[in-house]
Amino acid sequence: SKLLDTDFIGKPVQLHARLDSTNTYAKANLSDLKNGDVILAHEQTAGKGRLGRNWTSPAGASISMSLVLKPASPFERLSLLTQLTAAALIKALNDWGDVKIKWPNDIILNSRKIAGILIETEFSGSSLEGIIIGIGINTNVDQENIPQELQSKATSLKEGTNREIDPNTLVASFLTFFEKYYVDFLNSQRPAPFLSVCREQSILIGKNYWIIDTDRKRKAYIKTIDSTGGLVVTYLDTNKTEVITSTDLSIRGD
Ligand code: BTN
């Protein structure tokens, strides 16, 4: 499409009426996919979220896509890709509303989640076969179609902005920002531009939150996001400052 101003990201975008999960599909067909290919599904029947959760993607009312990367040299700082993806999403979504990010991967509008990112890697032996960046966006989901237990936590772009969203424009805009940040990062090894977006739009920085790990729960002051994409926090009980890089934990307010 003319909207898509990229060299290799989204060239092509494969469209599917219905898949179990675009990530699962990309994984299963990885050897046939090339760097930058995008898998997009109108509907997902078994969408995957972080931490083993399900992700519901109602037909025609949400965007479900997976972007395949096959970097020439192994990626040292995979965690940065989540922040890069989030920054590109924020820039694309900013045309519709003042979206924020809750580190590491929740995209927020009016204090409720509208999009999430799930990155998976596939190895054959010790060599990286590909990276699959899964993105789910609640575009035109009506609030009453959001599952009861998520009503207070999730919303859609349409509910948050009172505007119907054109998915083609949004996807093209996201892919264009993504390529810009990605190429700049590969060439310069300088993550600053996209990390600034994540810092500026962070809902966590400058406030206290509970950091909930498998075995404990501690309150911390959130200082910043560092140059590796990690979350810099000072625990209130010990006054020690640490960088959190694992994304397998939850961060909660009171
Ligand atoms: C999360 O916030 O927990 C991450 C949600 C990621 C959902 C997307 S939808 C497209 C891709 N395919 C999947 O099965 N999951 C991701």
Residue 77 CA to residue 32 CA, distance in Å, equals 25
The CATH code of the domain that includes 238 is 2.30.30
Does residue 49's CB lie within 6 angstroms of at least one atom of ligand 1?
yes
Read off the pLDDT band of 76 (50, 70, 90). Answer: low
Over range 43-49, report the average pLDDT: 94
**Structural domain includes residue 232:** yes
Q: Are 241 and 252 in contact (CB under 8 A)?
A: no
The residue segments making up the domain with residue 49 are: 13-200
Do strands 127-138 and 208-212 pair parallel, antiparallel, or not at all (unpaired)? unpaired
Whether 227 and 164 map to the same domain: the answer is no
- Complex prediction ipTM: 0.99
CA distance 133 to 81: 9
Beta bridge partners of 100: 108
Task: Quote the Cα angle for 88-247-180, to 5°.
Answer: 20
For the segment 56-65, the average pLDDT, to the nearest whole number, is: 86
66 CB less than 6 Å from ligand 1? Answer: yes
Task: Tell me the pLDDT tens digit for each residue of 127-169.
Answer: 889 999 999 999 877 777 777 777 778 878 888 888 888 899 9
* Any atom of ligand 1 within 6 Å of the Cβ of 21: yes
pLDDT tens for 12-34 read: 999 999 999 999 999 999 999 99
Report which protein residue has its CA nearest ligand 1's atom 10: 64
Clarify whether residues 116 and 213 are in a common domain.
no
Mean pLDDT for 59-67 is 90
- β partners of residue 127: 124
If one counts the domains in the chain, the total is: 2
Classify residue 5: in a domain, yes or no: no
What is the arithmetic mean of pLDDT over 211-222? 92
Place of tokens 């959001």: 146
Mean pLDDT check: name the lowest of 97-101, 123-127, 187-191.
Answer: 187-191
